[in-house]
Structure 1
Amino acid sequence: MYTLSSVSNSKITGKVTFKKNEDGSTTVLLEINGSSKDVHPAFIYFNNAETGGEIAITLEPIDCDCESSSTIVTTLDDGTPISYEQLLKFDGHLKIHQNEDHLEIVITQGNIGTNAN
């Protein structure tokens, strides 16, 4: 489990949980608190949050006021396989954005894998 911190005074926090599935895939569960009713796109990026990087994995967006989403991950967006163990050691961070029209606005983020403290 990794903590997601508020960005841009959004007052939205949350957590991301990685769960190993029997078939070797990973379920990525996003849970946030205090969001609007927007559909919030979510991505795992390369590098740490401070450095920034390109999108590595597109996650299911957080829809409606449910404040959660679940994605089964087996590969990076470029098709490179990634296991649960590799994801736990991944050099990355996660960002959740305001909505599709405002991807430049990040509402919550956190470092994952080797970048988590």
Structure 2
Amino acid sequence: MKKIPFIVSLLLAFAGCQQEEKLPEIAAVTYPLYQSADYAFEGTATFELKEDANVELLIQLDGVRSMDPYFYTAHLHFGSFDEADASIAQVLSPIDSRTLESRTQLGKLTDGKAIDFESLKNFDGHIKIHLADQGPDYDIILVSGNIGSNDTSLENFNSNKLALCSPSYPNY
């Protein structure tokens, strides 16, 4: 019976000597994506800093999922969502209509600059997700939203001011 307090003290001493295992901190910034057409979709764009210092973009939409495979075209653009002729900064991985998600490893942008997590916070840009990659449905933008240094609030968003983007990629 006298050994129990000794064993408890010994266990507490060993537990106090062990270093805590530190979990890697995950840096992320999330921006809202607003409904931009008659289709009931909205969502988020989350930029995550990975352990290898690369930035990954996770787009998650809320809306009706499809049972059939279909992919919505997505772009990261320079400038605000309401700027006409806003150049495409990077073509993003298409959003799968069955999961309403996509992941894109960001790399060099069309202007030749690489984007890192810190510069992303001040990036003058926006995201647009199109119903299709060509034809008349390309002009239907399901969701869009500003990112980085631009005003990302719902109060600032007006889908009537949304500028269409060109299907050509002049910077490629």
Return the structure number with greater helix share: 2
User: What is the CA deviation profile of residues 33-86 of structure 1, one whole-angstrom value per residue up to 9, with x for unaligned ones?
Assistant: 114543101111111112241100111001231100001112113432111111
Structure 1 residues without counterparts, runs of 5 or longer: none
Distance 1:36 1:103 in 2: 19
Distance 2:39 2:78 in 1: 23
Aligned-partner residue type, residue 40 of structure 1:
Y
The size of the alignment, in residue pairs, is 117
1:73 and 2:102 are equivalent in the alignment? no
Q: Which has the larger radius of gyration?
A: 2
The partner residue of 2:131 within 80, 83, 98 is 98
Q: Which residue does the alignment assign to 2:147?
A: 112
Aligned-partner residue type, residue 82 of structure 2:
E
Q: Normalising by structure 1, what TM-score?
A: 0.91
Q: Normalising by structure 2, what TM-score?
A: 0.63
The partner residue of 1:3 within 23, 29, 32 is 32
Structure 2 residues without counterparts, runs of 5 or longer: 1-29, 154-172
Aligned-partner residue type, residue 76 of structure 2:
I
The partner residue of 1:16 within 41, 45, 48 is 45
Question: Which has the higher mean CA deviation after the structures are superposed, 7-16 or 77-86?
Answer: 77-86
Asked which structure has the greater RCO (Cα within 8 Å, sep 6+), the reply is: 1
